[in-house]
Amino acid sequence: MRRPSHPARPPSPRRARRPAAAAAVRIGSFLLTLGACVVVAAHGNVTPQAVDTTGLAPVGQDWLNVNPYSGNPKAVEIGSSGFNQNCARCHGLEAISGGIAPDLRRLDNDCAGMKDKAARDGCVKDNDDYMITTVRHGRTRNGAVYMPPFEGVLSQEAMWAIKTYLESRREKPLPEAP
């Protein structure tokens, strides 16, 4: 009976080039990873998720420029899942930025140092307006989409819930009293 033949491999001239080939593969996969990050940052080509806001008071048709849910624990909970499904792929899980997009825990940092409560509240309101405008319209610069628009994808309730969640994640928590 014949044994299955396992012809010895011819001595490989490629062997000598292996380290170079391995380096090429490593560089290639690095470039792929980099490319994937750029694609996500540039096009946001991941399907956005609708957010169930049951349990939050509806805010009506008009766009508000101040967060109606600040401090509302239900909004923090809904906003946490809304953020992690829609924003985290760029802004980082739990809002800890990996570097491709701004760290949103710092959104209200400038306000935290303000001693005067009225000034602080005004500062946070300005940031509410800035945040909702950014989320509605996204960010396009020189024709490149850095952040997709979320108007028509997320409800206004979902956007404010996400802001409320971000307030719960502030890098510099605001003082309770002036």
Q: Which residues bind ligand HEC (CB under 6 A)?
A: 40-41, 44, 86-87, 89-91, 101-102, 104, 131, 134-135, 139, 141, 146-148, 150, 162
25/42 with CB nearer ligand HEC: 42
Task: Considering the complex, state which of residue 92 and residue 120 has its C-beta at the smaller distance from ligand HEC.
Answer: 92
The CB density around residue 154, as the number of other CB atoms within 10 Å, is: 24
Q: Are 84 and 93 in contact (CB under 8 A)?
A: yes
* Minimal distance, residue 4 CB to ligand HEC, in Å: 54
CB nearer to ligand HEC: pick between 102 and 117: 102
| Closer residue to ligand HEC (CB): 120 or 162 | 162
103-110 long-range contacts, CB within 8 A, separation 24+: 103/171, 104/166, 104/169, 105/166, 105/169, 105/170, 105/171, 106/171, 107/131, 107/166, 107/170, 108/167, 108/170, 108/172, 108/174, 109/170, 109/171, 109/172
Closest contact distance (angstroms) between CB of 135 and ligand HEC is: 5
Q: How far is the CB of 38 from ligand HEC (least distance, A)?
A: 11
Q: For the CB of residue 9, give the shortest distance to ligand HEC in the complex, in Å.
A: 48
Residue for token pair 């805010």:
59
